[in-house]
Structures are given as C-alpha cells and as structure tokens.
Amino acid sequence: MPIQQLPQLPSYIRLCEVIIHFSDREEAVVETYLDLDRSVEDQVFESFNPLSLDCPQILSFKWRDLATPPCPRNSMGHYKPTQCVTL
C-alpha cells in the first residue's frame, strides 16, 4: 500500500518547539504545529495547561519556529531569555 502524502500546510501553520515551565518547576519541551495567525499564548494554554487546578499549571513558556536557528543557551543549558520569544 503506498504512503499517502500529507497536504501542503498553509504558510501560517508552522512546526514549533515550545518550552513550557510549570508551577511545580518542571519543564516540558514539545514540538507542535502552531497557527501563527492566532494567539500562540491561547494555543499553548488550551493545548497543554491541565484542566484540573490540582495539577501543575503553566507559569511561562518560550517558543520558536523550527525553521529558525535554535535559541542560544547559557553554560548550564538554560535558554537565554532575552534572545527567544517569551510569554
């Protein structure tokens, strides 16, 4: 059976890396498609913030379009906040 090709995505839909910081000090790094014509903040909170307030909540996040070069990191491996898009 041949593999079907995915349809071409509109230019405003981009594969992005999202680094999420939760209230329990955990960090998650995910790759997801984001609609850059819509609020990135709304999309991240709708997709990744738990519904239950008993679970750790999103405190902040950084994101980048994977077509752009990665954000620089400091010597400890943390992203340099002034050089990335941040909430």
The predicted-structure confidence for 22-62, as pLDDT tens digits, reads as follows 999 999 999 999 999 999 999 999 999 998 999 999 999 99
What mean pLDDT comes out for the span 58-84?
75
Residue 84 predicted with pLDDT over 70: no
The verdict on pTM exceeding 0.85 is no
Q: Specify if 69 maps to a domain.
A: yes
Q: Where are the alpha helices (DSSP H) in 1-87?
A: 40-48
The pLDDT value given to residue 73:
72
Residue 6 domain-assigned? Answer: no
Within a domain: 30: yes
Q: How many domains does the chain have?
A: 1
Mean pLDDT, the chain, whole residue set: 84
More confident residue, 74 or 18: 18
Domain of 72? Answer: 13-86
